Amino acid sequence: MKLEELTEKLRKFTEKIKDDEDYYLMQGMIYEGNWLFKLAIEVKKRETLEKRAIKSGIKAFLRWKAPEAVISAVTWQVRGYYMEEMFKPFYGIKKGSYVKKLLNHIANVLDKTGEIKFSDGSKYRLLREQKIRISAKISKDHLKIEVSPFRVIYHPFIAKLVGTDKIICPFCGKETYVYSGYCEHCNKQILTVCLNCRRITPIGEKCIHCGKPLKWVK
């Protein structure tokens, strides 16, 4: 599937979402290695309590042929539904209005801007110059897509892991941000993992955390 085709299908799916209905939502960036990430989005419509209870009751009756089994099955569905109501953030349940805004943003990222920003402040850029890999399953009430490769532009957690926002590139000698793992100017990898302390450190003669010599190729 091409990127343009995915964007069109994503927008068509978004048009069918109703603002007042509940949806299960999973979103995030999955690390693929070599400082590259994959965007993963899954949206599934949440069935009403009535529909879940009826389906569960019918299944229980067809299997066990006993009223007690039907009552038990329906009871468990009711309990589960209200547990989800109490802990909506934990189950990733969002209103359709929120999901529509998110999916429209994703569509714009894939179609135009190429840059996505998350609530923690992290930013990622779609590398259009590389081969784009797409996995997509889209039905009436369920959408699951994965797109790569993305490269991180900014991430507060990476700055904490490295211990700094900027370093001097050991290859071109220019100052660069560390978030993407690559120099902004010469595009060479500037971060590695110290084999001694297992922490992320800028490429150089020694690890900035433990001071042990680093093994790397210039």
Return the pLDDT at 179.
82
The rounded distance, in Å, linking the Cα atoms of 13 and 100 is 9
In Å, what is the CA distance from 157 to each residue of 85, 164, 165, 191, 195? 31, 11, 10, 14, 21
User: CA 24, 26, 30: angle at the middle one, nearest 5?
Assistant: 170
> In this predicted model, what pLDDT tens digit does every residue of 19-53 receive, in sequence order?
999 999 999 999 888 778 999 999 999 999 999 99
Return the pLDDT at 216.
56
The reply to whether the predicted model has a pTM over 0.85 is no
> In this predicted model, what pLDDT tens digit does every residue of 94-129 receive, in sequence order?
999 999 999 999 999 998 889 998 877 888 999 998
Return the pLDDT at 180.
77
Tokens of 155: 């991430």
> In this predicted model, what pLDDT tens digit does every residue of 7-23 receive, in sequence order?
999 999 999 999 999 99
> In this predicted model, what pLDDT tens digit does every residue of 130-189 receive, in sequence order?
999 999 999 999 999 999 999 888 888 777 888 888 889 989 999 998 887 888 899 888
Specify whether the CB–CB gap between 33 and 149 falls below 8 A. Answer: no
The residue type at 126: L
Region 194-218: mean pLDDT is 82
Peptide bond into 149 cis (omega under 30): yes
